[in-house]
Structure 1
Amino acid sequence: MIAAFGGWNDACQAATDVIRHLLNVYESREIGHICCDSYYDYQSSRPMMCTIQGRKRIVWPETTFYEIEIDEHTKLYVEMGPEPNFHWSDFCQRSLRFADEYEVTDMITIGSMFAECAHTRALPVSNSDGDDDTGDDDTYSGPVGIPTVLHYAAAEDGFEARSLWVSVPQYLGGDECPAATMRLLEEVSAIMDLSLEEGDLPSQAEKWRAKADMLVRCNDDLSDYVHHLERHMDEHSPGHDVSTPHARQLVEETEEFLRSFDHPATE
């Protein structure tokens, strides 16, 4: 089962777009819901007014489960919805009971975060299992979202649990990021040892990079900033994914770099 949630955990919708992509390219069907009233604050996850078959309807936020047929031998289950506001422990247990009902043994939670990384390089992906309490002082400490809570709950309940987070260049704003969606899809494919269909993601990712290239060419300061990020990524992670602690270090160094524009050195 792959789980993704909108909101704080989903920069540029890159994680939930993985689910939408799979639903678009494969045969799928809805198989269940976690209803909304106990889990959502409607002032932060508002109901939506929609017109369906000529009639206006209010669509309430909820989490939906789907069954996806990858091929005649392989079925994949996915979970998608807004991040809940309340009762996270109960929400996770309901998700895991649903996974048990369909004899799921492996759980992959996916998310995306804004970070200081360059669009000209492969977007970093952190990949962790449910047993990464290494005691290392460099492990991440800080706020977490529902993907992390579900990830650890799944590991504690005996699932083979994986957590994937892709970094999205913060300087490009909040538009959709197909390159990040494709990176997550590639990692999911590797974990599952399947060649999942990429559809039009490669062409969309190239358009995204071309748009970013044009933006950088039009702004000298941004160009210098991107070159700084490139050098850092090349020096610290050649051929490797960047973990959350490395991303935090990169944020600190790039903030120092940007402050140099506000306080130029005097001769």
Structure 2
Amino acid sequence: MVEYLRLEQIPDLNRPALVLAFEGWNDAAESASGSLEFLGRTVGARRFAAFDSEEFYSFTETRPMVKLNEDVREIQWPDSHFSYAHREGDGRDLILLRGVEPQLRWRTFSQLVSGVARSAGVDLVVCLGALLAEVPHTQPVRITGTSTDPELTSIVGLEPSRYEGPTGILGVLHQHFKTEGIPCVSIWANVPHYIPAFPNPRATVALLGRVNSLLNLELDLSEFDSRTAEFDEQIRQGLSQNPEVAEYVSELESRVGEEDEPHVVTEDLPSGESLVADLEKFLRSQREDEGKE
């Protein structure tokens, strides 16, 4: 299986924690991948291994992208890669696994991930995900999840998830690490299902906050303040133009505290029940207008 992974060299690390997230089904509103992008940029993570995309992706489902680099046309293939970062003092070093959720060979993929983790001395895995749920954007982001260790559940402050249904690569990896005996915690942000197509900075900050407390990273999240304010204002304007959606949000607000766990949305709403089309159209036009300024 080693031919499926392009590995430069396993770095020498101090008690590394592996933090991972994938674009796609596990990444509502780009909340999890956005968290890992910020984390990698903040700690100065350096790439040291990458998966062979030919083996794990169906290119008719996750298509390669054509990009122009100084007028030279290039193909960018779907990518999942490892990077690492040293931390000062006695803090844990970090390994980050970021990419696009693979379509193929999930068991092989999981074995390769755990192989790298063991070789690097990883003794803690943190899976970041985001799901669409019937929750209002006006409430604090609800964080749910699961852990192989009750102590980790307490440290992160997780509400245990009782979800049953389809799973993604995060669920498979979590179970794989449990079988391998490597402590693993999965942290999921619940994202309002009526605004799924736009990056949600509130959910990203909520995920990063839990990672911060678990790994003592002392991250400065102030750069999200302006993004969050802009996000809130765009939603406010969108709802003012869409009273039907605003009424639906009020209904969701009235349910807060009444249900043990909000309904998880695992597929698109039927067209007859979809309340989001007009709101998303408005938000998209707002972003396009900003891009022209």
What is the TM-score of this pair, normalised by structure 1? 0.82
Task: Measure how far apart 1:125 and its partner are.
Answer: 1.1
Measure, in 2, the Cα distance between the counterparts of 1:42 and 1:142. 26
Specify every segment of 5 or more residues in structure 2 that has no aligned partner in the other structure, as ranges.
1-17, 151-160, 275-293
Q: Kindly indicate whether residue 185 of structure 2 is the aligned counterpart of residue 162 of structure 1.
A: yes
> Aligned pair 1:193/2:216, yes or no?
yes
Q: Residue 12 of structure 1 aligns with which residue? A: 29
From 213, 238, 262, the equivalent of 1:215 is 238
Amino acid at match of 1:129: S
How far apart in 2 are the matches of 1:210 and 1:78? 33
Instruction: Tell me the amino acid that sits aligned with residue 169 of structure 2.
Output: I
1:41-52 → structure 2 map (5 Å cutoff): 41-52=58-69
Q: Quick one: which of 131, 142, 156 aligns to 2:165?
A: 142
Structure 1 residue 45 displacement after superposition: 1.1
Distance, in Å, in 2 between the alignment partners of 1:70 and 1:118 is 37
- 1:139 to partner: Cα distance: 3.0
Gaps of 5+ in 1: 133-137, 238-245, 260-267
RMSD (Å) for aligned C-alpha atoms: 2.4
Q: Percent identity?
A: 26
The 1:56/1:104 distance shift into structure 2, 3 A limit, reads same
CA-to-partner distance for each residue in 1:85-108, whole Å, 9 max, x for gaps? 111011001011111121111001
Alignment match, 2:100: 82
Q: 1:247 aligns to what?
A: 262
Q: Read off the aligned partner of 2:123 and give its amino acid letter.
A: T
Q: Pick from 141, 154, 169: which aligns with 1:123?
A: 141
Does the CA contact (< 8 Å) of 1:34 and 1:62 recur in 2?
A: yes
Q: What is aligned with 1:34?
A: 51
Give the TM-score taking structure 2 as reference length.
0.75
Query: Residue 128 of structure 2 contacts residue 187 of structure 2 at CA under 8 Å; is this kept in 1?
Result: yes
Tell me which of 58, 67, 79 is aligned to 1:62: 79
Contact 1:127-1:162 within 8 A present in 2 as well: yes
The 1:36/1:176 distance shift into structure 2, 3 A limit, reads: same
Tell me, in whole angstroms, the C-alpha distance in 1 between the residues paired with 2:262 and 2:88: 37
Instruction: Go from structure 1 to structure 2 and tell me whether the alpha carbon gap of 1:126 and 1:152 turns closer, same or farther (over 3 Å shift).
Output: same
Paired residue total: 241
Give the superposition deviation at 1:65: 0.6
